Amino acid sequence: MKVGIIGSGYVGLVAAACFAEMGNKVICVDVDQKKIENLKKGIVPIYEPGIEQLVLENQKKGTLYFTTNIKDSLDEAKVVFIAVGTPMGDDGSADLKFVLQVAKDIGNKMSHHLVVVDKSTVPVGTADLVKEIIQRALSDRNSDLTFDVVSNPEFLKEGAAIDDFMRPDRVVVGASNSDSMNLMKELYAPFTFNHDRFIGMDIRSAEMTKYAANAMLATKISFINEMANICEHVGADINEVRIGIGSDKRIGYQFIYPGCGYGGSCFPKDVKALVNIAQGSGYTPQLILSVEKVNDDQKNILFKKIVSRFGTDLHDKSFAIWGLSFKPGTDDMREAPSISLIKSILSAGGKVNAYDPKAIDQAKFYLKDLDVKYCSDKYESLKNADAIVLVTEWKEFRSPDFEKMAEIMNNKVLIDGRNQFSANQINKHGFEYFQIGVK
Ligand SMILES: NC(=O)c1ccc[n+]([C@@H]2O[C@H](COP(=O)([O-])OP(=O)(O)OC[C@H]3O[C@@H](n4cnc5c(N)ncnc54)[C@H](O)[C@@H]3O)[C@@H](O)[C@H]2O)c1
């Protein structure tokens, strides 16, 4: 099938590469000229395991093309995906300016019947809005071309995006027209080959499903973080409690790791947008508001631990930050807990030596003008450090050389934002060890 993808970010690029890999002809569009020039040369703008190989191979095979001209993609395509960003607006709502601009461009430039797919995460009712805008643009051209708008929210996880797209737990499609629904089934059939994971529903329910899924995951994170904080107050150990509750099949072990709060390009903005959607409809979402509040507080937890160990004046103190991206496996720094932590340390007069296996370039952008020393090796960041603060649980931090660390550091203090180690293991090496949810 001929597929157009508008927006070549994490979602658009992964979708494009995976559809192309299945033999479709995909034309991927972006307004960012530099990004497209680089992609044409095989330079992939994001770190995502497996993406580079798929992009290179499919360009070579002639199944994947990149352009800045939306018309090139619309002229060829049977189905066109909108995969542009929906960042958080000033009032917490999803800012739809990119989506609506694309809708207008589609209406202005389309040349035959199209199925337009909202893949961006958008508030309930956006498909109607997209439909209205495309129709208005067509009417302005005195065109009687036909089109349909469907919703196909994306559930991939950065760091495992290719695998998630190739072997999805489910493909959710909201459509009001059976021909469009069947076209989407056909397009996704190769990805749901061994058993059917295609879930068709009405458009508004599909739009809501994405927010409900992210709100549920954010709720699990804030729930376990709240339990961790209670554990610290009452002298219990959240690591034991986690195992104790996860063994109940109704609860399960997934997504109940205590930590320093969720970040990234999705949970913070989608939780906020859901609050905004609910309040806009006259409903106050009390649980989701609390999930957000707990997370905002949790992003301060590592700094609070630093203060409780070193005091509020951090002049002459130096901190090695291990991990900057919002989670392992990605270079994405959007809303990463490392950002607020580093700003707090610097404002209290402390020094920061930061190391991340993949996110340093992105971090330099998000922390620009701040006096952070970036290190090319995790041990280099320990020179003269008074404490290590482990923020992102990259695999390379799981089994570090503690003897070497002890030799390099000023003070043997490890503040662990991801509860990676056991206290016994750390104490053996003479480190003071601070975890989340353990007194
Ligand atoms: N990143 C994720 O893990 C993830 C997962 C699921 C859903 N989503 C959702 O998918 C959407 C895209 O997210 P992302 O992380 O890929 O965003 P992104 O910011 O990485 O990429 C968006 C791209 O769209 C381009 N763009 C903007 N306006 C354009 C236009 N008029 N024409 C063509 N291109 C245009 C930008 O230049 C950018 O390259 C968002 O709604 C997001 O919430 C993201």
The model's confidence at residue 297, banded by pLDDT at 50, 70 and 90, is: very high
Q: Phi first, then psi: what are they for 81, rounded to 5°? A: -100, 135
**Helix (H) or strand (E) run with residue 74 in it:** helix 70-76
| Per-residue DSSP letter, 392 | S
Q: What pLDDT shows up at residue 385?
A: 98
Secondary structure (3-state) at 155: coil
Please report the pLDDT score of residue 423 as a whole number.
86
Q: What is the pLDDT of residue 193?
A: 84
Q: What mean pLDDT do residues 186-208 have?
A: 94
Is residue 435 very low, low, confident or very high in pLDDT (cuts 50, 70, 90)? very high
Is 419 buried (19+), middle (13-18) or exposed (0-12) by CB count in 10 A? buried
Catalytic residues: 266
Around 271, how many Cα atoms within 13 Å sit in the side-chain half-sphere? Answer: 27
**Amino acid sitting at position 430:** G
pLDDT the model gives residue 336: 97
Determine whether the shortest distance from the Cβ of 29 to ligand 1 is under 6 A.
yes
pLDDT band of 146, cuts 50, 70, 90: very high
What is the pLDDT, as a whole number, of residue 194? 81
Whether residue 195 is predicted with pLDDT greater than 90 in this model: the reply is no
Token pair, residue 274, equals 């859901």
Does the Cβ of 362 fall within 6 Å of ligand 1?
no
**CA dihedral over 385, 386, 391, 394, signed as positive or negative:** positive
User: Across residues 199-219, what is the average pLDDT?
Assistant: 98
* Residue 32 CA, closest ligand 1 atom number: 37
* 3-state SS class at 309: helix
The phi, psi pair for 191, rounded to 5°, reads -90, -10
Tokens 């089934």 label which residue?
185
382 and 410 in contact (C-beta within 8 Å)? no
- Over residues 366-411, the pLDDT tens digits come to 999 999 999 999 999 999 999 999 999 999 999 999 999 999 999 9
pLDDT at 15: 98
Q: Where are the alpha helices (DSSP H) in 145-202?
A: 161-166, 178-188
Question: How many angstroms separate the CA atoms of 10 and 120, rounded?
Answer: 11
Q: What confidence tier does 83 reach under pLDDT thresholds 50, 70, 90? A: very high
Take atom 28 of ligand 1 and give the residue whose Cα is closest.
Answer: 98
Distance of CA 98 from the midpoint of ligand 1 (Å): 9
* CB-based contacts of 424, cutoff 8 Å, min separation 6: none
Q: Over the stretch 115-138, which tens digit does the pLDDT of each residue have? A: 999 999 999 999 999 999 999 999
The C-alpha atoms of residue 103 and residue 84 are separated, in whole angstroms, by 11
Average of per-residue pLDDT across 354-367? 97
